[in-house]
Amino acid sequence: MILVLLLLAFSSPTGRAQMQPPAQAQGDAGLPDFSGFNLIDSFARLPAERTNLSTLCDVRRASIDEITGNIEGALTRADESADPAAAVRLHNAMGVVFLYKGDIAGAIPQFEEGVRIAHQHSTEDPKFAAMESIDLAALGIAHMRRGEVENCAIRHNADMCIFPLSLAARHTLRSGSERAIEYFKRYLEREPSSLEIRWLLNIAYQTLGEYPDKVPKAYLIPPAAFESKENIGRFVDVAPALGLDKVGDAGGSIVDDFDNDGFLDIVESSFDPCQPMRAFRNNGDGTFSDVSERS
C-alpha cells in the first residue's frame, strides 16, 4: 500500500490557519500526484465567471502563494521529534509545490529531507517505510525532469525527446538520468511491482544509451514491448526551422487562413491561464513569423 500525501487547510482553536497533512491510503491506482496540480487546485477559489483568463491567472497565483505560505509556516512550527510523520508530509508537499513552479533545485532538498526523516523512524512504524518510498520516487522523478530540462529543452535538437529515442536524442548531460536511475532502483527494491517506476527506469536508461544492456533484469521491459507492427516512420521536430519553437505549456491550436492571403496560419493557446495566446503568420515560404504582439 502506498500513501498519498495530502495537505488540508483548517482553522485552529485560535482561528489561525495551519496545515494538517493527513495521509490517505492509495491502493492499485499507483503513485501520488507529483505535478502539484491537485494540491494547488485545492486552494483555488474559482469565480462564477471563468471566461476571463486574467482573473483565472490571478486565482492561480494566489493559490500558489497561499499554499506556499501555509506550508512554510507549518514547517517553521513543526516539531520533527514530536511528529516526524507530519514533518515528512510537509517536506513532500513543499517539494511538490516547487516542482509545480518549475523549481527543481528547490524541490530536491525537500524530498531528500523527507527521506532522511522517514528513514530515521522506519523501524518505529511501517508507515515511515511507505513515506520513504514515496520520496524516493519523487527524487527519481525530480532528477529525471532535471535531465529533461538540461538536455531536451536547453540542448534541443530535431530528434530530442521523440520516442523511441535515437542516438541524437541521448543526453549529453547525464547526471539527471543517472541520479534518477539510482532513486528508481531504490524504490523498486521496495515496490518491485510498480510498472510506473519500471517504465521510467527503462526510459532513463534509454536517455543514456544504456538500454537494454544495463537495465537490471528484474526491472527490464523487453525491447519487443516498444515495437510496432506498423512502420509509420519517425517524427522529426521541424518547429525550429519553421519559426515555431516557442517554450510554453501545451494547450490548443487552430490552423486557418486568418489574414486571407491563401496560406494557413497558426494560433495556439496555453494550458496555463497566465501565459498569453500566440499567433503565427504564414510567410508563404514554409516559415512563420510570431505576430502575437500585433494580434
Strand partners, 270: 250
The residue assigned the cell 505535478 is: 35
29-33, 90-94, 191-195: the lowest-pLDDT one: 29-33
DSSP assigned state of 151: I
Per DSSP, helices labelled H in 149-223 are 175-190, 195-207
**How many CB atoms within 10 Å of residue 255?**
12
CA gap 275, 118 in Å, rounded: 38
CA gap 238, 159 in Å, rounded: 10
Classify residue 4 by burial, with Cβ atoms within 10 Å: 0-12, 13-18, 19+: middle
Query: Residue ranges per domain, the chain?
Result: 55-223, 240-294
> In this predicted model, what pLDDT tens digit does every residue of 170-184 receive, in sequence order?
999 999 999 999 999
Higher pLDDT, 225 or 40: 225
CA gap 34, 206 in Å, rounded: 22
Higher pLDDT, 22 or 197: 197
Question: Does residue 250 have a pLDDT over 90?
Answer: no
What pLDDT is stored for residue 235 in this prediction? 87
Q: Is the CB of residue 83 less than 8 Å from the CB of residue 95?
A: no
Residues 6+ apart with CB under 8 A from 145: 99, 104, 176
Question: Does residue 24 have a pLDDT over 70?
Answer: no
Strand spans (E) along the chain: 2-5, 8-11, 17-20, 23-26, 250-256, 265-270, 278-282, 288-290
10-19, 216-225, 230-239, 267-276: the lowest-pLDDT one: 10-19
> In this predicted model, what pLDDT tens digit does every residue of 199-243 receive, in sequence order?
999 999 999 999 999 999 999 999 999 888 888 888 888 988 899
What pLDDT is stored for residue 11 in this prediction? 30
What pLDDT is stored for residue 9 in this prediction? 32
CA gap 244, 1 in Å, rounded: 45
What pLDDT is stored for residue 245 in this prediction? 86
- Give, for 87, the enclosing helix (H) or strand (E): helix 84-100
Q: What class, spelled out in words, does domain 55-223 have in CATH?
A: mainly alpha
CA gap 59, 127 in Å, rounded: 35
CA gap 40, 147 in Å, rounded: 25
Residues 6+ apart with CB under 8 A from 245: 156, 237, 239
Percentage, residues of the chain above pLDDT 70: 89
What pLDDT is stored for residue 295 in this prediction? 62
C-alpha cell at 239: 518547429
